[in-house]
Amino acid sequence: MTRLEETFASLRRRGERALMPYFTAGDPSLDATRRLVVEAAKRGADVVELGIPFSDPVADGPVIQRATQRALAGGVTLPRVLEMVREVRAETAMPIVFLTYYNPILAFGLEAFCRAADGAGADGVLVADLPPEEAGPLRAQADLVGLHVSHFIAPTSTPERMKKIARATGAFIYLVSLTGVTGARSELPPDLMQHLRVLRTITTKPICVGFGIATPEHAALVGRVADGVIVGSAIVNLVRAPPGLARPRLRGRRLHRRPQSAFTRRGMPIRAHLLRWRPRQPAQRTESTPRRLPSGAASHMDPSRHPAPVAAMGSGNSLGDGAFERRFCRRNPVLWGRLPSTVEAPCDLLR
């Protein structure tokens, strides 16, 4: 019996449920993830799910997607995650299950991944975008080293489909509580308990419920029927912004301090910068230089009907009557800071 199987069997004998927190490896750093996993084991976690960052996490909601992007931006890779797990294994014997997508495993190599994961101390793997019909090659390599490959059961799965997935899965079954992506929810689906009871009549393997579990009340409700509760986005939110962390004050929906970016110049927004400029007054035509109208012009363009002076086109880089501003400024407001200093910008175009 493997470490993962022994954990679920021991919990079942004691009439207890497995608490399975999820962490995104590398968010905020690999060292922080290592310390979080070790601390979770000390605080009562039974199994830890460790997410391997991937650039296209189609099953994850905004919270875990952002955590994944932060980890990737920090240089987290699959080999570095495996090395971190090896360090964790020296401090705790708690089972660790990878949650990932098939592309990183395929790029690493099926045999190489299974051997490396087992050598690092991982106990299982969940592949979010790999159905059991296509998991044969991975399962064959994983069985050689004793690595469990578990599968997901969706709320829309039929009893026949549940039976097929239950036969193919490893140490436990991951029951998705709702249709959609990961993320904390205020309420659980009303038909979740019915799905659990149907699945319980199909298999005796441990059933763990994930997606949407956000509060102790959710965990207590699911634990009445399931063998384990998986908490993901709610924990990732805490890792990103722990309680007591000072947050920047908001004014409406904007921060008081704006970051320096392509839309700012000298630390202030482009629009505010332009408002400090004073547009040059265009030259005025005299009565001796009447405006020339194109042939077929509308009668309302007749200068005789408009006695006010008409602006003339300036010389050089001057914009004169504003025709160029109206065409250019509205399409490329950010590029004003790159124009020659002789260009005068009408402020009202950006208001």
Is position 249 within any domain?
Answer: no
Quote the CA–CA distance of 351 and 336 in Å, as a whole number.
15
Q: 34 with 145, same domain?
A: yes
Query: In the annotation, is 49 catalytic?
Result: yes
Higher pLDDT, 302 or 25: 25
Q: Is 250 inside a domain boundary?
A: no
Do the domain assignments include residue 254?
Answer: no
Q: Kindly tell me if the per-residue pLDDT of 311 is higher than 90.
A: no
pLDDT at 124 over 90: yes
Distances (CA, A) of 307 to 9, 73, 296, 301, 310: 95, 63, 21, 11, 9
Q: 204 with 327, same domain?
A: no
Q: Are 192 and 69 in contact (CB under 8 A)?
A: no
Under a CB-based contact definition with an 8 Å cutoff, are residues 70 and 76 in contact? no
Question: Each residue of 140-160: pLDDT tens digit?
Answer: 999 999 999 999 998 889 999
pLDDT of 60 reads: 84
**How much is the pLDDT for 268?**
43
248 lies in some domain? no
Catalytic option among 49, 123, 325, 344: 49
132 and 38 share one domain: yes
Judge if 146 and 283 occupy the same domain.
no
56 is catalytic: no
| Range 221-227 average pLDDT | 88
- 205 and 266 in a common domain: no
How many domains does the chain divide into? 2
**pLDDT tens per residue, range 56-88:** 888 888 888 899 999 999 999 999 999 999 999
In the predicted model, what is the mean pLDDT of residues 5-24? 95
Contact 99, 133 (CB under 8 A): no
Instruction: Work out the average pLDDT over 100-119.
Output: 96
Quickly state the pLDDT bin for 335 (edges 50, 70, 90): very low
47 & 116 share domain: yes
- One domain for residues 212 and 343: no
Do 194 and 310 share a structural domain? no
Assessment of whether the complete model's pTM goes beyond 0.85: no
**Domain range holding 266?**
260-291+298-350
Q: Which of the two residues, 160 and 182, has the higher pLDDT score? A: 160
List pLDDT tens digits, range 252-310: 443 334 444 444 444 444 444 444 444 455 555 555 555 555 555 444 445 455 444 44
Report which of 228, 195, 235, 194 is spatially closest to residue 214, judged by C-alpha positions.
235
So what's the pLDDT on residue 345? Answer: 39
Which residue in 5, 27, 46, 60 is the catalytic one? 60
Res 180: pLDDT: 65
Residues 236 and 275 in one domain: no
Tell me: the pLDDT tens digits for 36-58?
Answer: 999 999 999 999 999 999 998 88
| pLDDT value of residue 192 | 83
In the predicted structure, residue 247 carries a pLDDT above the cut 70: no
Q: Are residues 214 and 98 in the same domain?
A: yes
Nearest-5° angle of CA 133, CA 136, CA 142?
A: 135
Question: Tokens in use for 228?
Answer: 């384990």
pLDDT band at 174 (very low <50, low <70, confident <90, very high): very high
Q: Report the alpha-carbon distance of residue 240 to residue 67 in Å, rounded.
A: 8
Domain with 114 in it: what CATH number?
A: 3.20.20.70
**11-16 contact pairs (CB < 8 A, 24+):** 11/46, 11/227, 11/228, 12/206, 12/227
